[in-house]
Amino acid sequence: MLAHLDVLHAVAGLLVGTLVGLTGVGGGSLMTPILVLIFGINPGTAVGTDLLFASITKIFGSFVHNRHESVDWKIMRRLAIGSVPAAVLTLLAVSTFGKFGNDTNHVILTVLGTMLIVTAIATLFQKKLATFAKTHDRKDDSRTLLPTIVLGAVLGAAVSVSSVGAGAIGVTALLMLYPALRVSRIVGTDIAHAVPLTLVAGFGHWLIGGVDPTLLLNLLIGSIPGVAAGSLLSTRSPDHILRPALAAVLLASGIKLLS
């Protein structure tokens, strides 16, 4: 393992893991742009590797949230009903392009850049939107069924192509659909839902040939202690400074990828 250790990739994993622990924003919106813009990794490989990276890290997160009873499994199933089939169909569509080439990479970069800009907006205004949602009456359970499945389908397609969307965008949308639910339960549900979604999408990319196992190992070496450290520091972090700064980075990355 030491023979394949890449210190720079491990440091990138440490940085992203720490920020995820501090802010709760998904690693895909941070890791994929770093791999593409800084390390020059092929976009298809960056997305596929990051999806498996996210699935492994979020398995541990979902266990923790489940122990604290902060996962709503009914909402999670609704999301998965939409997201898993959408991920499979999206990957089948991507595979029709054959081996990742310039056309496929262009589509991935376009979707990734767009999703980063949307994530930046969601990250910046998430708390204001949550406060706004709290002022409205709780929707009847039957009225939230279809919108939740549709949300899952949108996330499934977007995450499969860009690895971005299951974090900040998913949480923000769930806050609007289920305003009476505690934020911790929304976050736990979103993390639990991300596990099957990123596993299916990640293994799909593996079959297509879009995963680098060595890169994945190096990212995990850095990210696991990073998430732990960030989580411990999160109660002391200046959220009013971190969130705007993170949103600015995501916005700049999105614009750079689109250009």
More confident residue, 99 or 54: 54
Whether the pLDDT of residue 229 is over 60: the answer is yes
pLDDT of residue 75: 94
pLDDT tens for residues 199-217?
A: 999 999 898 877 899 999 9
Mean pLDDT of the residues in the chain:
81
The set of residues, in sequence order, having a beta carbon less than 8 Å from that of 1 and lying 6+ positions away, is 217
Q: Distance of CA 198 to CAs 58, 87, 115, 130, 133, Å?
A: 9, 9, 16, 26, 28
Whether the pLDDT of residue 120 is over 80: the answer is yes
Would the CA dihedral through 41, 46, 52, 54 be positive or negative?
positive
Question: How far is residue 228's CA from residue 51's CA, in Å, rounded to a whole number?
Answer: 20
Whether the pLDDT of residue 153 is over 90: the answer is yes
State the average pLDDT over residues 236-249.
74
State the average pLDDT over residues 124-136.
71
**Closest-CA residue to 133 (of 92, 180, 96):** 180
pLDDT tens for residues 16-28?
A: 878 776 666 666 7
pLDDT of residue 23: 63
